[in-house]
């Protein structure tokens, strides 16, 4: 499933084409994805000017002049693809429609935004912009890891007293929003922290040191256009490249990349997810 860097990469790709532009027509080609689409979604989108695009955790939020916000979740295999871009940054010709093109936004500027999702685990919703913080998918999210609210004091306090492994705590969207399995594994490696260590046993000093490391990992991944493992594509259809920089994720049995370590990457399963780490240098 796309994590924060992949979603942010898609948002940044869509913004130059959608912000300030009008949706001339919206085609909704099925009644649902993971959940039913909101009533009259095509009519509510058609004719609306896009005021701006935001990201919250793993969701893209499209603010409209109608004072409604379109929420987009890519799910396991969802892609937001651009064609006919008047800015000249993407392929100019519109491709032929495909089987899994579930929602298509025809922009007045000539661009076309296609939401393609073969597995149909993605989702879209429309809600009043003013009520966004109360939306069921957003209300319980923790602070953004790249935002000012996610600081050393907050994080140390959030982990204190928690009897779960630090890996599980970092994946808890109520503690910090948007982190997923890949980037938690990579951040813990850079910090030299074992994913098995209990959150309550992580000292305040080590917890504080993990905050800038998380930011750096996410920043590096965004700069590389995210990670493409199976289905992820950027908005221009290109692959992300951060997977070529993984230190531990997916590298089971390979040598640890930390200089002087001499260990190898192991894989364990925690709460049904694979954790990759070096038992020799992550404590």
Closest CA relative to residue 229, chosen from 243, 249, 214: 243
**Strand, helix or coil for residue 133:** helix
> How far is residue 88's CA from residue 105's CA, in Å, rounded to a whole number?
18
Residue with token string 């995210």: 226
> How far is residue 76's CA from residue 163's CA, in Å, rounded to a whole number?
30
Q: Which residues participate in catalysis according to the annotation?
A: 2-3, 58, 273
């Amino acid at each position: 499933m796309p994590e924060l860097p992949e979603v942010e990469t898609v948002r940044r790709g869509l913004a130059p084409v959608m912000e300030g532009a009008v949706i001339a027509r919206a085609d909704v080609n099925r009644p649902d994805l993971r959940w039913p689409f909101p009533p009259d979604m095509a009519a509510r989108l058609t004719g609306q000017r896009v005021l701006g695009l935001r990201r919250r955790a793993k969701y893209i939020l499209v603010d409209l002049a109608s004072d409604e916000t379109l929420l987009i979740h890519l799910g396991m295999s969802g892609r937001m693809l651009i064609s006919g871009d008047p800015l000249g940054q993407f392929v100019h010709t519109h491709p032929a429609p495909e089987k899994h093109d579930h929602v298509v936004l025809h922009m007045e500027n000539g661009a076309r935004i296609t939401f393609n999702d073969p597995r149909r685990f993605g989702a879209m919703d429309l809600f009043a912009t003013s009520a966004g913080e109360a939306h069921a998918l957003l209300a319980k999210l923790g602070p953004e890891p790249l935002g000012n609210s996610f600081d050393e004091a907050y994080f140390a306090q959030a982990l204190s007293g928690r009897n779960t492994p630090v890996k599980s705590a970092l994946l808890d969207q109520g503690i910090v929003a948007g982190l997923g399995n890949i980037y938690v594994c990579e951040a813990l490696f850079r910090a030299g922290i074992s994913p098995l260590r209990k959150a309550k046993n992580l000292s305040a000093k080590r917890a504080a040191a993990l905050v800038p490391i998380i930011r750096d990992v996410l920043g590096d991944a965004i700069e590389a256009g995210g990670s493409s493992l199976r289905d992820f594509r950027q908005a221009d259809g290109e692959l992300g490249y951060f997977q070529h920089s993984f230190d531990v994720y997916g590298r089971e049995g390979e040598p640890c990349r930390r200089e002087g370590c001499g260990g190898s990457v192991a894989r364990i399963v925690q709460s049904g997810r694979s954790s990759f780490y070096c038992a020799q240098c992550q404590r």
